[in-house]
Structure 1
Amino acid sequence: MPQDSQTLPSEATDDIEMIEPALPSASTAPNVPGPSTSSSSDKITFHITHGEEEVDFVLSKKDQIECLKKLVGSKFSLPWCRIDLQGWRRPPASDKITFGDLRCPVFVPLVVVVLDPSPDTASASDETNLIERLTQTFTLNITCETTKKSYNLKFPGSRTIGEVKHDIFEVTDIPVRYQKWSGWPSSVTDRVTLACSGVVYPEHNLTLCRQPPVKESKKQKQQVVCIDDSDSSVGDYEDASESFNGDDDMLYMGSVETSRKVRNLIPEEVHDEIAGSISFMEEYVHRYGEAHPLFLQDTLGEAVKEAFNKSARERRPLVIYIHHDGSVLSNVFCTQVLNSEPVISYLSEHFVIWGWDFTHEQNKQMMLRAASQSLGPMAANLVRSIDLEHMPALVVANKIRSSIEIVSVMHGHLVVNELISNLMQVRDRFLESQQQEIMEENERMARERVLREQDEAYQASLEIDRAKEEAKRAQEVAKEKEEQMLQSQQRQEAAKMEARKAEASLRLPLEPPDIPGDNIARIRFRMPSGEFRTRRFDAHSPLQVVFDFLLVEGYPSEDYKVLSSWPRRDLTLLESSQTLQQARLCPQETVILEER
C-alpha cells in the first residue's frame, strides 16, 4: 500500500521577481487573525490574483493555509470557506497544513477561484450554513464495480474530496489516478471540502471503478520526462488532470518549471545513513509520485538485519536500489518500471528494499563503507564496479548458510516484464536454498528441544525438592511467627486491660459508709464463678461507677452482661450517665454477671 503523502522540499528561488507592483498587504485587515511573527528568513510572499486585482501577503512558515484564505476573503470580501487557491506546486490536503510543511519557496503566485455559490449571491446565512456543514458527518454510499462491494463510509464535512479518494485507496487498493467516479457534483476539484462540494446530506451515493492505465504517446512521455527533470512527480502530473482544468494545469506546471530546481535524492551535505535514507524516500516521492516501492528508511546494516537476522522461514532477499541522476535511464526506469504496480507489489511481498543515491561521490563512498561492513568486502567491490552506463541498478543480496552473497545485479535498461522475470528467478533460487535451510533448522531445533526438555525435567525435579524444603521451612517460620504474634497480641491486650483498670480505679469513688437511708445503693454482685461480692455506692453516682467497679474486678462490660434480678434487664444497655437511683438500684439490688 502506498505511504502517506510527503511534503515538498524547500529550495531557494532568488531568480524570481515580481512582474507588477503589488498592492499593500492585507495582513492588517480588521477581524482577521494575523500571521505568526518570525524572522525574515521564515517569511513567504504570496502573490494573489483575483480577476484583475492583485495583492501580496507576507506570512510565516508557521502559518496555515486557512490563515491565508481568511486574509484573502477579508481583502476581496469573499467567504473564506469558498475560496480555492490554485497554483500550488502540490495541492495541499487540508487547510490546516502549515506553509513550512508544504516546503513553500519564498515567493508563491496563486490564483483565487471562488467555489459555487458565487460571492454575489452569498449571504451571512449561507456562510453560517456552510460552517454548520463543515461540522456535520456525511455518509458516502460507495458502490465499487471493480471489487463488487459496497462501502458505507462516514466523513466530516471538513474532509476534502482528495482526502476521501486517498482513504478509498486504502480500502479498495485502487490508486487515486486510476479511480473513475460517477456521482460527484459537477465542477468540483479534489481540494473542495464535502461541505462545499454540493453532495447530499446526510447520505450521498457514488459509483467507483478502476480505469486501466492510459498508454502515453511519445509526446506525452516527453512531457513527463520534462516534469521529472524539474523535480516534479509523475503522480502529481496524473493527479492534476483529475483536479484542474486546462488553465490550472498550465499554471501549476509553469510554476513548477520556473521556480523549482533539481534536487538530488540525497543531498551532498548528508552526514549519516539514516538522514540519507529518509531524504532518499522523500525526494523519490516528490519526484516520481506516490506509487513507489517501500524503501526502508534506515541504515544499510538495519536493512540487512531486517532481511536476514531472522529464522530461515522468515528471511527475505535484500534488494538495494542504486540511483544516479547522471544516468539517462534513471527517470524512465523509475517512472515506468520501478513504480509500476506489478514491480511494487512483487518487491513489497517478497523482498526487503533499500535505496541510495550515488550522484555525489561523498554519498557513494559512505554507502560503500556501509556495504563493506554489512555485506562484506567482496559485495562492496561488486557494487563499486557498477559504472554510470549501467545505472540505475538493483543489487540483490541473499544469506546463504552463514555468509551474505550478491546473487544478482539488474540494470536500468530492463522493462517491467524483464525485471519481474529476473526477480522471480532470484526468488526461485532463494526458495530452493531456503527450503534446505528450513529443513536443517528444523532438525537443529528438534535436537535442541530434546536437550531442553531433558534439562527442564531435571530442573523441575530439583525445583520440586527445593519447593518441599522451602514449604517445610516456611511452615515452621509461619508457625513460629504466629505464636510470636499471638503472644505479642496477648501482652498488648493485657497491658491495655491493666491500663483501663488503673484508669477505672482512679475514677471509682470511695465506698460510702453503711448509713441507713435512700442515699446509699447496696448492690450485691453474683460473679460468674458463683461467689458474691457486695459494694455500697452513692445513690446519686452515675451507673458508670458500677461498670468501673466491675472492670477493676476484671469483668469489663464489653465481655459480661450485668443483669438485674427484677425486672430482668441488662444494665450495660442503659445510659451510663443516669444515676443509680434513676436506674432503680436503690436502696439495694442483686445483679448477676453473665459472660456474653
Structure 2
Amino acid sequence: MAILYACINIIREVLQIVYYFLLPRPAVSDGQNRQRDSQLATQFIQKFAEKYGNVHPEFFRGTLSEALERAKNELRFVMVVLQTDEHDDTDIFNRDTLTSQSLITFLREKNILTWAGDVKDPEPYQASITLQATTYPFIAIIVAQIPHGNTGSGPKMIAVDRFEGFSSPENMIARLTMSINRYGPELQRIRSERAGHEAARQIRAQQDDAYLASLRADQEKERRARELAEAKRLAEEHARKEEEARRLLALNRENWRRWAITQLPDEPHPNEIEVAKLSFKLANGERVVRKFRATDTVETAYIFVDTYYLKNEASSSTVTEPPSNYEHTFDFLLVSPYPRIVHHVDKFKEIKSEQGLWPSANLIVEELTSDDDDDDDE
C-alpha cells in the first residue's frame, strides 16, 4: 500500500506539471501577475481561516517576492509554507501545527515572517520548483545571508533549512530554534553593520546639512555684503552726482551773474527825467540806493540786487555769454513793506508800470527758502 500511495503521488505531481506547462494560459504582464499572486495569497488566508479558524500565524498578505523583500529589508527570518489539499498530511498539519498557540507565540516573539500558499497557484508552484519540494506540506526557512566570498555585496535571501511532511509544533519550534541559533549571529552582524552604515550615513547627512547650512549662511552673508556695498556705491554715486550738480548749478549761477552785470544798464544821468529812486535793504542789513529809468524792467532791479556784490570786481572776471542749458532763478523777493507788496520778477514789465515802485520805493530784500518757493508758486 505504501508503494502504491507513493506511485499515486508521483503520478499526481507529474500531471500537475503537465497541466501547468502544457495547457494554454493567457499572456499577462508582470504587474498583472503580481496583482493575481497577491489576490491568490489573500484568498489562501481567507480559505484557511474559514476552514481552520482565525487562530493561526499572522500570514503575510502579499506575494512571496514581497514577503522576501520585506524580510530582507527588515533582516527577519521567513518561514515559507507550501501545501496542497491533495496530500493527506495537509489537514492534520493545519489543524494541529499551524493553529498551535505555542508555535504562533514563538513565531511572534522571534519576529518570524510567515508566508503560505497552495502549490496549485502559480507563485507557490514556482516556489516549490525553486525550493525542490517533493512532499507536502513543505516548510523552508529563509534568511538574509552574505554568500561566502562576496563580503562586498549585499545580503541575499538563502534557504537555510527545509523539512517536508507533517511536523509537530514542538518539532517545528526546535528546527526554527536551531536555525536561529546557527544563523541569527550572522543576521545580527548584518544588522550591526547596517546600523553602523546607517549611523555613518546619518552623520554624513548631518555634516552635509551643517555644511550646506554654513554655506547658505556664508552665501547669505556675502549677498548682504554685496547688497550693502552696492547700496553704499549707489549712495556715494548719488551723492557725487548731487554734489556735481550743486557745483555746476553754483558755477552756472555765478557765471550768469557775471554775465548779467554786463547787461545791467548804467545808472541814469542826474539830468535825465522819468527816473525811479529805489532804496534796497539787503539781507545783510546794508541799505543801498539806486536810480533806474522808468523804462527799465522789474527784472533789472532784481539783477542789480543779485549782482551787487560784484560791483567792485575787475572787469576781467566778467563773462561775455550766459551759460548754456541754464535758466536763472532769483533766490530772493523784492517787497514793499507798507503796505506789503511783493514785486515779482518780470522781464517785460517796466518799473513805471509796477505799483509801489514808481517814482520811488523802499524795498526789503527777502531771501527765499524752499517753503517760500512753494508758497510763491501757489
Which structure shows the higher helix fraction? 2
TM-score range relative to shorter protein: 0.3 to 0.5
**TM-score, structure 1 as length reference:** 0.30
**TM-score, structure 2 as length reference:** 0.46
Task: Please tell me whether Structure 1 or Structure 2 has the larger radius of gyration of its CA atoms.
Answer: 2
Q: 1 or 2 for the larger relative contact order (CA 8 Å, sep ≥6)?
A: 2
